[in-house]
Amino acid sequence: MPPNKRAPIVCLTQVKIVLAPFAALVALHIAAAHAELLKPGLTVAVSATTVAAPAATPAAMPAVVAPARPVPDLAKPGALPPATTAMSAIACTVPTEFAHFDRPLSRTARRLAVGKPLTIVAIGSSSTAGAGASSRAASYPSRLAVELRRHFPTQDIAVLNRGVNGEETEDMMARFQTGVIAAHPQLVLWQIGTNSVLRDHPLPSHGVALREGIDELKATGADVLLIDPQYAPKVLAKSETTGMIEQIAATAKAENIDLFRRFAVMRNWHEVQHLPFSVFVSPDGLHMNDWGYACWAKILAKGIADAAMLPVASATAPAQR
């Protein structure tokens, strides 16, 4: 072979010899990174909020720790895709009627009028506890406290979370004395109905227990506000859902207390505003997600603020003789 052709081959061979150790080092790094990804227990969560590996939800509140959100199986009916950061740009809006209560919250109004600390107890099941949220701070009671302080920035307001996963109306009533009444609240938010529907329990017995529970809460002198079930795929699949919504509404009217129509609010999001379930429902097809809880709290806070302000003038005015 001529000398002028042997030179490039020699140079190429020398380059390969020089680069060989670097190529081996890069290969080792790639292999190590791949092995790290395959380690058991590593969870990748896609959400509007960065999520750490969560612990299991405890049986009692207020120490709410959101349960791990399962990775959805999109091949299964009702499975929802995970939330995305685009959700943070979606506006929380509903018609005015959903943020309006027909009856004033008199006890709450009097407390606000004199500038004394306001205590609110939120009692319910997993929707109150915060299942589906990325953290305790993203549960609806926590978000409600934030929203109410925006309406009343100089007021001392505490919202106590008394949600317990899986409970039904009678289970919550068994906790009234220690979980609600002992806190001496001026306002009680009672979220009910979902688990009875999911377990196909008869409506008549639920109606009796609901009226008894309302009477017990009203006897304390606190304002009472009911919250009906969520508009979510697993709730919609149950035949008693409509009956439960109607029963709660009729009971609230008969007992002369306010009702937050969560079912109607969420139905408006989906059927009128055309938001997919994945915007406000967690991948389990039942619980709400961070956006859903935050928007619920925002609307509820507006309703509470308006209802509490209605009688403020009479509460602060001198007594008429």
The pLDDT of residue 310: 72
The pLDDT of residue 86: 60
Residues of the chain with pLDDT under 50: 3, 5-84, 312-321
The pLDDT of residue 199: 97
Instruction: Give the whole-angstrom CA distance, residue 109 versus residue 115.
Output: 10
Kindly report the pTM of this predicted structure.
0.72
Contact yes or no for 259/307 (Cβ under 8 A): no
Q: Long-range contacts: 59-65, Cβ < 8 Å, 24+?
A: 59/164, 59/165, 60/164, 61/128, 61/129, 61/160, 61/161, 61/162, 61/163, 61/164, 61/179, 62/160, 62/161, 62/162, 63/136, 64/129, 64/130, 64/136, 64/139, 64/142, 64/161, 64/163, 65/136
First to last CA, the chain: 123
